Chains A and B, each alone.
Chain A
Amino acid sequence: MSSKSEFSKFISRMFARRIVIIGVVGAVFFLLVAILAPIISPYDPSEMDLMGKLSGLSSAHPLGTDMYGRDLLSRIIYGTRVSLVIGVLSVIISAAIGTFLGMVAAYNGGVIDAILMRFCDAFRAIPQIALSMALIAIYGSSLFSMAVIIGVSTVPAYIRMMRASTLSITGSDYVLAAKLSGEPVLLIMYRHILPNSVSPIIIMATQQIGSSILMEAGLSFLGIGIRVPTASWGSMVNEARPYLLNHPLYVLAPCICIALLVISLNLLGDGIRDALDPTLRGVNK
C-alpha cells in the first residue's frame, strides 16, 4: 500500500509540469522504433540500389533514397538504435565508474581523495570533444568503443557529484555503526552509502543521455564516429551535406530526428529531476 502511494507520488511530481508528458511520449516512441526496427522498416538499411539513388518522396520510399539508393526511412529507423544504445550505454559506464570512484574518494579521504580530485581537475580542463577525438584515434570508433569513450570523457562530473553527496553521509551515525560492527568497506558503501546518495547521480545520468547522443551525432557528423555502412544520424548528415541544395530533406530528416530525440530525453530528465529532488522543482515552477 505504502509503496503504491510512493509510486503515485513520484508520478504526480514527475508530471507536475505538463510538458514532461511530451518528453515521455517522444522517448517511448523512439524506444519502440529502436526495438521494432527490423519489423517496421520497409527495406534493409544497407541495401543499395544505384539505379534509384537520390529519388524524391514516393510511395515506395516515403522519405526518398540516399546517394547509394538506400531507403532513407529505413536508415533513420535503424539510426535510432545507434543513438539510443550509445546514449544509454555511455551513461551507464560513466555513472558506474564515477559513482564508485566518487564514493572511494569521499570515504577514504586523504591521499586517494587528493589524487582523484586532481585528475578530475585535469580532465575538466580538456574539452570533452578533444579528449574523445584523441581516444577515438587510439581505440577506433566501433559502436562499443564510442560508448566507452563518450562515457569515460564524462566520468569526472560523476565523481565530483558522488563525492559531494557521499561526504555528507560518511560522518553519519549509521555509517559509524556499520564501521564499528566490522562490516567490510565495500558492503558499507553498497548498503549504507549508495542508497542514500545516489539520487543526484540518477538525475545527472538521465540528463546526460541527451548530451551523449549529441556528442555521438557530432563525432559521426565530423566523419570520425560510427563508420559506414552502419546507419547513424550524425554520419547520415555528413554524407548528405553535398546534396543540401537539391535534396534538403536528405540532410534535414536525420537532423530533425536528433533534435526530437534529444529534446524528448531532456524533458524526461527534467521530469525525473522534479520527482526525485523537490527542492529543485520549486525553482522551476
Chain B
Amino acid sequence: MTKYMLHRVLQTLLIVVIVSFISFLLVSIMPKDPVYALLGADVTEEDYWTTYYRLGLDKPLIVRYFMWAGNALRGDFGNSYAYNMPVWDILGPKLGITIYLSVVAMLISFPLGIVLGIITAVNRGKASDSIITLIANFLCGVPQFVVAICLLYLFAMKLKVLPAIGFTYPWVNFSKHMSQIVMPMICLVLQSAAGVCRQTRSSMLEAYGQDYVRTARSKGLKEGFVIYKHVMGNGLIPIITLIGGRLSSLIGGAMFVEAVFSIPGMGMLMVKSINSMDIPVLQATVLLTAIVISIAYIVTDLLYVIVDPRISLT
C-alpha cells in the first residue's frame, strides 16, 4: 500500500514535470517575438536588447526551461505582459474562485449523480428510469453556457429573484454568497450530476449481469439485499475513478459559467490573456490547473485502494 502510493506520487511528479515542460514550450513555439509581446511593436533597439537579455532569450532552450521551472517552484511565474505585475498576484485569487466553484460543485454532484444512477439502474426499463435517463442525456448535450443564460434570463431578468452577477466568498458575506452562487452552482451541478448518473447507471447494470449476482439470486436472497450487497458494492467502485476527470471538466465548465455571471475567476482572465497574448499567465494557468487535477487523481487512487483492496496487490 505504502509502496503503491509512493510509486503513484513519483509518477505524478513526473507528470507535473512533463506538463511544466509543455507549458514552457508554449512560449518557445509562439510565432510572435516575446519581446514585442511584452513591450509593444514600437520599441527602441536598446530597450529591445535589454529585455531580450533580461528574459534570457540568448540562452539555449533547455537552460531557459530550468530557469523558468526553478522560479516557478518558488511561486514566481514571471511578470504578466498585460498587467506588468507578478503573474501569481493576478492569478492566485482567480484560481481560488474557480477551484472553489468546481470543488463545491463536485461535492454536490457526485452524491446526487450516484443516487440518481442507482435509482435508474434499480428501476431499469420503468418510467422513472426513462425520464431521468432522458433528462441526463439532454443535459449532456446542452452547453453549460446555454443553461446559464436560460437561468439568468428566467431568475435574474424575468422573476428578478437572484442577482445576475458577482461572487463573494461565504466567509466574507454568507447570505450574499448564497444568493450569488445559486445559479452558477445549478449549472455546474446539473451537468456534472447528469454525467455521473449516466456512468453510475451503466456501471451498476454491468454488475447486474455478473455471475455472482445470479448466484446470490438463486440462493434465494432478497432482491434488496442483492442490490445493496452485490450490485452496489461492485458497481460503485469504478465511479470513484471518475473524480479526476470530472474535476477537470468542472474547471472547464466553471470558466463558461463565470463568463455568463461575471464571476472574476480564471475563465475571464484566460480570455483576456489570449486577446493580449499574455503568455506567462497562460503558462501558469495550464501548469497550476494541471497540478490541481493531478492531486485529484492521486486522491482518487488513494480512495480506490481503500475501497477495493485488490488494487494494492498489483
**Do A and B form a real pair?**
yes
Residue count of chain A within 8 Å CB distance of chain B: 46
Are A122 and B143 in touch, CB under 8 angstroms?
no
List residues of chain B with CB within 8 A of the CB of A224.
271, 274-275
> Please, how many angstroms separate the alpha-carbon atoms of A117 and B153 in the complex?
45
Instruction: Say how far A33's CB is from chain B's closest CB, in angstroms.
Output: 18
7 additional contacts (CB under 8 A) given A128-B249, A266-B140, A266-B141 = A119-B18, A138-B29, A222-B271, A248-B153, A252-B150, A263-B141, A284-B202
Q: A118-B15, A126-B286, A130-B270 are in contact. Are A218 and B144 (CB under 8 A)?
A: yes
The yes or no answer to B252 lying at the interface (CB within 8 A) is yes
Question: Once the chains bind, are B277 and A137 in contact (CB under 8 Å)?
Answer: yes
Report yes or no: B143 in contact with A118, Cβ–Cβ below 8 A: no
Give min CB distance, B2 to chain A, whole Å. 22
Instruction: Indicate if B220 sits at the interface (CB-CB under 8 A).
Output: no
Query: What mask results when residues 257 to 285 of chain A are scored 1 for a CB within 8 Å of chain B, else 0?
Result: 01100110011000000000000101111
Given contacts A138-B31, A266-B141, A282-B209, contact A133 B293 (CB under 8 A): no
The answer to whether B297 and A129 touch across the interface, beta carbons within 8 angstroms, is no
Contacts of B290 in A (CB 8 A): 122, 125-127
Report the bound CA distance from A237 to B150 in whole Å. Answer: 12
Contacts of B245 in A (CB 8 A): 124
Instruction: Report the number of A-B residue pairs with Cβ-Cβ less than 8 Å.
Output: 144
CB distance from A18 to the nearest CB of B (A): 12
Q: Which residues of B contact A244 (CB under 8 A)?
A: 149, 152-153, 157
Decide: B29 and A255 in contact? CB cutoff 8 A: no
Asked if A125 contacts B274 (CB within 8 A), the reply is no
For residue B267, CB closer than 8 A to chain A, the reply is: yes
Q: How far is the CA of A136 from the CA of B270 in the complex (A)?
A: 11
Chain A min CB distance to B259 (Å): 6
User: What distance in Å separates the Cβ of B144 from its nearest Cβ neighbour in chain A?
Assistant: 7
Chain B residues numbered 64-80 whose CB sits less than 8 Å from any CB in chain A: none
Residue B196 lies at the interface, judged by CB distance under 8 Å to chain A = no
B215-241 contacts to A, CB under 8 A, are none
Q: Quick one: CB contact mask for B134-148 with A, threshold 8 Å, 1 for yes? A: 000110111111100
Q: Which residues of B contact A241 (CB under 8 A)?
A: 149, 260
**Does B88 lie at the interface of the complex (its beta carbon under 8 Å from any beta carbon of A)?**
no
Nearest CB in chain B: distance from A228 CB, A: 14
Residues of A within 8 A of B274 (CB): 133, 136-137, 224
Q: Is the interface of B mostly helix, strand, loop or mixed?
A: helix
In the complex with contacts A137-B277, A237-B149, A259-B286 CB distance below 8 A:
no
Task: Say yes or no for A45: interface residue by CB 8 A criterion.
Answer: no
Q: Contacts A122-B290, A134-B286: A127 and B248 contacting too (C-beta < 8 A)?
A: yes
Q: A127-B251, A127-B293, A245-B157 known; A255 and B205 CB under 8 Å? A: no
| Residue in contact with B143 in the complex, picked from A130, A214, A245, CB distance below 8 Å | A214
Pick the most buried of A130, A224, A251, A263: most chain B CB atoms within 10 A of its CB.
Answer: A130
- Size class of B's contact patch? 35 or more
Write the chain A residue with the least CB distance to B21. Answer: A122
Give bound CA distance, A283 to B149, whole Å. 35
7 contacts between A and B (CB under 8 A): A121-B18, A122-B22, A124-B245, A125-B290, A126-B19, A224-B275, A262-B142
Establish whether residues A259 and B142, one from each chain, have CB atoms under 8 Å apart when the complex forms.
yes
How would residues 187 to 217 of chain A score, 1 for a CB under 8 Å from any chain B CB and 0 otherwise? 0000000000000000000000010001001
Inter-subunit contact A138/B26 (CB<8 Å): yes
A32 neighbours in B (Cβ, 8 Å): none
Query: Would B286 and A137 count as touching, CB distance under 8 A?
Result: no
* A158 interfacial contact with B, CB 8 Å: no
CB pair B145 A218 closer than 8 Å: yes
Whether the Cβ atoms of B282 and A133 lie closer than 8 Å is yes
Least CB distance from A63 to B in Å reads 17
What residues of B have a CB within 8 angstroms of the CB of A252 in the complex? 149-150
Q: Are B146 and A222 in contact (CB under 8 A)?
A: no
Q: Which residues of chain A from 113 to 166 have a CB within 8 Å of any chain B CB?
A: 118-119, 121-131, 133-134, 136-138
Docked Cα-Cα span, A64 to B298, in Å, equals: 52
Residue of B nearest to A262 (CB): B141
B209 near A128 (CB under 8 angstroms)?
no
Is B14 an interface residue, CB under 8 A from the partner?
yes
Tell whether B172 is near chain A: CB-to-CB under 8 Å: no
Q: How far is the CB of B284 from chain A (nearest CB, A)?
A: 11
Q: Whole-angstrom distance between the alpha carbons of A243 and B118 in the complex?
A: 42
Interface contact A221-B143, CB-CB below 8 Å: yes
Contacts of B248 in A (CB 8 A): 124-125, 127-128
Asked whether B273 is an interface residue with its Cβ less than 8 Å from the other chain, the reply is: yes
B282 and A137 contacting across the interface, CB-CB below 8 Å = yes
Does B110 belong to the interface (CB within 8 Å)? no
- Complex Cα distance A125/B206, Å? 28
CB-defined contacts of A119 to chain B, threshold 8 Å: 18
The reply to whether the CB of A69 lies closer than 8 angstroms to some CB of chain B is no
Q: B279 on the interface (CB 8 Å rule)?
A: yes
Task: For chain B, residues 3 to 24, give those with C-beta under 8 angstroms from any C-beta of chain A.
Answer: 11, 14-16, 18-19, 22-23
Contact residues in A for B18 (Cβ distance below 8 Å):
118-119, 121-122
Is B51 an interface position by the 8 A CB rule?
Answer: no
The residue of chain B having its C-beta at the shortest distance from the C-beta of A251 within the complex is B149
